[in-house]
Structure 1
């Protein structure tokens, strides 16, 4: 038995040193990661097995529903392992940042819900567009005197909590943006510039943000929304919901025209090309 720790990995690598080896590890929570990375770093070809699919294969091929180390080895030898995708280190780090962002974002939602409950209790309503934006926060701080002493204490604490969470979320989002591909960022910004000219949905949102935060912040916000929309369209297999039939027809004709133009440019004369 080899323990799932650095000493265990060293022991395993010592046992296979000088031999041609391929390893298979079953994906169980995050317990597989340390061993996987240790073997990968040492140059061992490692496969991460999908437990559910591998068990089904074992039952069908080996007539055995017990997937132990020997069964995994037999399936690997027969090339019957159902693989799990293991992203490269750069992607794993980005995923870690995104997971880290989830916690303060959920906390923010809970805090906002508690503040809404207190406002409902006193029938206080914000008439602006963003109660937790700059103007909204100023309003929230200004109404604390209308609350009882106990609710005032809770309200103040929750407002301070929001300010702290905003700072944490901003730090993580800045780090995520810096870690992302500069080429993708550039492409999204170019798409955003075009979108605010031709798309009513994005134009309206851009103008609203631009009035408060300026052109740069507004374009980045539109670029981010475009990235989210593309992701959801691909995953949900949906068409762009804000598009009109007239716009789609116009876009299709433009693409067809460009396609014909490029096809004509790529045509080779019947006699060939002469230098």
Structure 2
């Protein structure tokens, strides 16, 4: 008999509900978040499916359960709550709702990329986190200079400007600079690793062939897509990146609004930055489209539409295994 397990994952403890094929609850349990406790709870479940919600702590639990041989499904948090409220009609606890939705095949799943793509995403996020930290300490240094009315010559954080900064002998600045140097070393190491991994992946190098995309941005888009075959066409990929207009229907009429902004905000921001770089440094058909639309609709709408065209181009480049063609 197949057992259906709903697992509500938290930092310190997990809440679990085991249900049989008829919907009868066989066991409810709260246990500490550790590999030993997870193994102990699942030790007497031979044939089971597990559902857990996509939260901050899902990844290690998901990997542990997969290694133990279970079929694991990751639930989409927002959609799960909507369906639980609409279809189950009871005030079930989270783990119970997950088990019930899994049993009834109503569980709205979210995509779980392969392990190597998950590792890439973690590497890219770590680089982003380190860059944000470095920016924070650079801003602190700038604030110290402003406070002392010190105006250094040259471009900030380059050549002569840095030399003048190091000659100031201000304790607070030296402390912050020590952190900046340390972060620089770690960021450089990660960027070197990203470049090496990018050059090993044909898909990343295809994306990088578009003017405006660096190793890092191309890898970010690639890692976000994961397995391209999960998208039937370019429209679905644009929807995934949240760069399609929202649509409202009323009285038989359709009204289009701003973009849906579905998906990862950070990845969409990277895509937008690449779109700006592309239209400023390329004479492609996308740039021509941007310039035409900019005159009618303004820059913000035009750049979003250009980003959408870039996503369509990326889809067909990956589908056909071709580099970007500026002429379309």
TM (normalized to structure 1)?
0.62
Structure 1 residues 121-143: Cα deviation after superposition (integer angstroms, max 9, x where no partner): 343334433x212343123223x
Give the whole-Å Cα distance in 1 for the aligned partners of 2:68 and 2:220: 40
The equivalent residue for 2:98 is 72
Structure 1 residues 65-116: Cα deviation after superposition (integer angstroms, max 9, x where no partner): 3244343222112211111222221122222223322443222112211221
Give the whole-Å Cα distance in 1 for the aligned partners of 2:197 and 2:285: 34
Structure 1 residues 179-209: Cα deviation after superposition (integer angstroms, max 9, x where no partner): 34432454355x26xx4xxxxxx7xxxxxxx
Q: Which runs of 5+ in 1 are unaligned?
A: 146-151, 196-201, 203-221, 253-275
| Residue from 178, 182, 189 that aligns with 1:171 | 189
* Inter-CA distance 118–29: structure 2 relative to 1 (3 Å threshold): closer
- Give the SS at the match of 1:170: helix
1:47, distance to aligned residue in structure 2 (A): 0.9
Contact map agreement 2:75 2:109 (CA 8 A) in 1: yes
Q: Which runs of 5+ in 2 are unaligned?
A: 1-28, 223-237, 244-271, 290-328
Give the whole-Å Cα distance in 2 for the aligned partners of 1:49 and 1:172: 31
Greater Cα radius of gyration, structure 1 or 2: 1
Structure 1 residues 149-182: Cα deviation after superposition (integer angstroms, max 9, x where no partner): xxx2222222333222211211222223333443
Count of residue pairs brought into register by the alignment: 213
What do you get for the CA RMSD once the two structures are aligned? 3.7
Contact map agreement 1:55 1:67 (CA 8 A) in 2: no
Does residue 47 of structure 2 align to residue 29 of structure 1? no
* Inter-CA distance 250–102: structure 2 relative to 1 (3 Å threshold): closer
Which residues of 2 match residues 1-275 of structure 1 at below 5 A? 1=29, 3=31, 4-17=33-46, 20-30=47-57, 32-129=58-155, 131-142=156-167, 144=168, 152-180=170-198, 181-187=200-206, 191=209, 195=211, 223-224=214-215, 227=218, 235=241, 237=243, 240-241=275-276, 243=279, 247-248=284-285
The structure in which a higher percent of residues are strand is 2
The equivalent residue for 1:216 is none
Contact map agreement 1:26 1:50 (CA 8 A) in 2: yes
Give the whole-Å Cα distance in 2 for the aligned partners of 1:236 and 1:47: 24
Give the whole-Å Cα distance in 2 for the aligned partners of 1:229 and 1:107: 19
Give the whole-Å Cα distance in 2 for the aligned partners of 1:168 and 1:250: 36
Structure 1 residues 213-247: Cα deviation after superposition (integer angstroms, max 9, x where no partner): xxxxxxxxx6347638979xx64637944538975
- Give the SS at the match of 1:37: helix
